[in-house]
Amino acid sequence: MDDLSKVYKKTDLMVGRKIDNEVVLVPIRKRSVDIQKIYNLENQTAVRSWELIDGNRDVKTILQVLGSEFEADPAILERETLDFIKQLTSIEAIRPTG
């Protein structure tokens, strides 16, 4: 399966809250080292990507929505979105479905 056809969903290990124009991600774990890490999504495309990751949309659909809402070079948008998804996966905020 290629990266664009993958579907991701948020995990139960991280909680996200929208505050003003950014999203704050807070780990919900028992290890104190994890609790001390808080992630701020300040970039509007990152915030919108987080909102669109719902366990139903594949990455291609997310990119289509982002492309219609933001003026950005499609190749750059794809690269940055895939990088963002890798980062979210590495901190266990999201995981692939299925």
Task: Render pLDDT for 11-66 as a digit per residue (tens, 0 to 9).
Answer: 999 999 999 999 999 888 765 555 568 889 999 999 999 999 999 999 999 999 99
Distance, CA of 26 to CA of 38 (rounded, Å): 5
> Domain range spanning residue 30?
3-96
Total domain count for the chain?
Answer: 1
Give me the CATH number covering residue 76: 3.90.930.60
- DSSP annotation of 49: H
d(CA 27, CA 91): 9
End-to-end CA distance of the chain: 12
- Distance between CA atoms of residues 92 and 98, nearest Å: 16
**Rounded to whole angstroms, how far apart are CA atoms 58 and 30?**
31
pLDDT of 65-82, one tens digit each?
A: 999 999 999 999 999 999
Q: Which H helix or E strand runs over 41?
A: strand 39-41
pTM of the shown model: 0.89
